[in-house]
Amino acid sequence: MATRHLYYRYNSKSSNKNINSSGNSTEVDRFIPKSVSRNAYKSIPMLNGFDISYSELCEKSPSPERLSSPEFFNELRNTGHYESISTTNEFSMSSISSSSESQVTRSGSARASRNDYSKLTKEQKDHRKNIAHSLGFQLPDRVFTFETTSAEILEKNKAIKNCFGPGSCAEIRSTFDFSTLSPDVARYYIANSNARSASPQRQIQRPAKRVKSHIPYRVLDAPCLRNDFYSNLISWSRTTNNVLVGLGCSVYIWSEKEGAVSILDHQYLSEKRDLVTCVSFCPYNTYFIVGTKFGRILLYDQKEFFHSSNTNEKEPVFVFQTESFKGICCLEWFKPGEICKFYVGEENGNVSLFEIKSLHFSIKNWSKRQKLEDENLIGLKLHSTYQAQAQQVCGISLNEHANLLAVGGNDNSCSLWDISDLDKPIKKFVLPHKAAVKAIAFCPWSKSLLATGGGSKDRCIKFWHTSTGTLLDEIYTSGQVTSLIWSLRHKQIVATFGFGDTKNPVLITLYSYPKLSKLLEVRSPNPLRVLSAVISPSSMAICVATNDETIRFYELWNDKEEIINEIQESGIYGSNIIEYMEGIETTHNKRIR
């Protein structure tokens, strides 16, 4: 049989001409040899005896513009697993159960199709079989599915390994003849090998864990709770588990046993045209402080309200009036010692150190306390005052050893003070932000780690090395950072947010450290903002005050883990030099050059 070629008409403006004997140029056809285009069309001998009647359908299409379909589509339609969309069944699915007449016509068409198929040559049948195999229509009783079973994947992988063996994808594609494989195996391998060769070093990664959502386990109504970023109006007692809340000119203590108990009557401050701006429990006794807008510091004792027979007496134990008459914004207590001490931050940027004077009480008759007050058995003494910020003090935090004080201000910075000598504090560093800094927290299990959070124009949480003032890491958030609380049992930190995304507001986010990946989020369907937050005595939950005049309680951790005293491991500070300074040994041997 003569050698046949597949011809391709070369239609170009470039001269590809053959000059005949008369001198006239004639265009010629370029051709592609069969040896080169073997994979383009495998059934070349079929062209010798090609008969168009073999390729026609039994039922002609009524439209001359519509191409007739191959017979394997016709056979698929006759199986009953496929039905074309027509005007009669566009709004009905009853075409499968058609009349007996249509079934007879269909069966006759199927017999005619099988008769025509039997007349095809072996090469034509093989060609159609390969096409049907590639398209997945080779079996009339096939169950169609959108998934590939694990057994099929293993079988295909096994077939590919048996065919190819070990070797790179690029080498296999360039040296192996895919015509020896069945079409679906070849197609499956080529698709996967292209993906592997495009990124040979990419590893299959597990999908990222979805951030968990959370709901409060308790919500308290707090009418007249001021919507003020600069105020700190909630506190949680470590000794009594009571919650202290400032509401306008009033103060209440809430306990699970007694409920809400009035501490400060509305009339006491309203007559003085004053209001509550700060409340705080002492962490190791029953005292608590109430600060006001005009610089009053009110000292109370919880025993007066829960152990005294005269519950109607609601006067403070002691009242101190600052000379500046500026608002008391925040408060931080020292660790237990011989003298009970605390710092307060004021609106004018001052930080003042106070002491609670307390004599040894030998008198048990608390009904005579008013007479004994003149003898100064309980009182407040101003120890020292210094200018810490250029503008209003927004937040204060004291480190574990009580020798460093971090003061955040409305001047877009946080100043770090060495208070080893309380009479002569020394400013060490100024840590910059782009907005007011209210959220400040020293890490309890890494003594030289400090976290600060900026306001609505900053929205950034920064982590600092307090010994050098180095910025270790930072993460940008979706809102104004109103508080930061470190976990005592896990390497985690929780942040609360004020102004931010009004469409999808985030109230609380729990981050891991040092990876800073989100572990938990508290979202709100309404545009809420968290004003301030405090941790529970058990270190498992937090209490937040929101601008909808509610107090919400969220349990974030469990008590299965023990409290961490100190962590000395690589990666906490993110720097080999700093970790070396902190006495942390790295597991890898690297030279510092």
> Is residue 372 within 8 Å of residue 419, measured between CB atoms?
no
Q: What pLDDT does 89 receive?
A: 43
Give the integer Cα–Cα distance in Å for 102 and 111: 14
Give the integer Cα–Cα distance in Å for 530 and 3: 85
Closest CA to 318 of 252, 369, 282: 369
Which H, E and C letters describe 468-494, residue by residue? CCEEEEEEECCCCEEEEEECCCCCEEE
Q: What pLDDT does 153 receive?
A: 56
**Which tokens in the block code for residue 364?**
């048990």
Give the integer Cα–Cα distance in Å for 508 and 498: 10
Regarding pTM above 0.85, the answer is no
Give the integer Cα–Cα distance in Å for 394 and 440: 9
Provide the b/e sequence for 282-295 (b: ≥16 CB within 10 Å): beebbbbbbbbbbb
Which distant-in-sequence residues (6+ apart) come within 8 Å of 526 by Cβ? 505, 548
User: Left (φ > 0), alpha (ψ -120 to 50) or beta: where does 386 sit?
Assistant: beta
**Which tokens in the block code for residue 217?**
């386990």
The residues that bridge with 502 in the sheet, in sequence order, are none
The residues that bridge with 413 in the sheet, in sequence order, are 409, 432
**Which tokens in the block code for residue 69?**
């379909």
Closest CA to 558 of 472, 509, 492: 492
Q: What pLDDT does 388 receive?
A: 96
φ/ψ (deg, to 5) at 214: -145, 150
pLDDT by residue, tens only, the chain of 593 residues: 444 443 333 344 444 444 444 445 444 444 555 555 555 545 445 544 444 444 444 444 444 443 443 443 444 444 444 444 444 444 444 443 444 444 545 555 555 555 666 778 888 888 888 877 777 664 554 444 445 555 555 565 555 555 545 444 444 455 556 566 666 666 666 666 555 555 444 454 544 555 666 789 999 999 999 999 999 999 999 999 999 999 999 999 999 888 999 999 999 999 999 999 999 999 999 999 999 999 999 999 988 877 655 555 578 989 999 999 999 999 999 988 778 999 999 999 999 999 998 654 444 444 444 444 444 478 899 999 999 999 999 999 999 999 999 999 999 999 999 999 999 999 999 999 999 999 999 999 999 999 999 999 999 999 999 999 999 999 999 899 999 999 999 999 999 999 888 888 999 999 999 999 999 999 988 889 999 999 999 999 999 999 999 999 999 998 778 888 888 888 899 889 999 988 887 665 555 44
Do strands 518-523 and 212-213 pair parallel, antiparallel, or not at all (unpaired)? parallel
DSSP state of 564: P
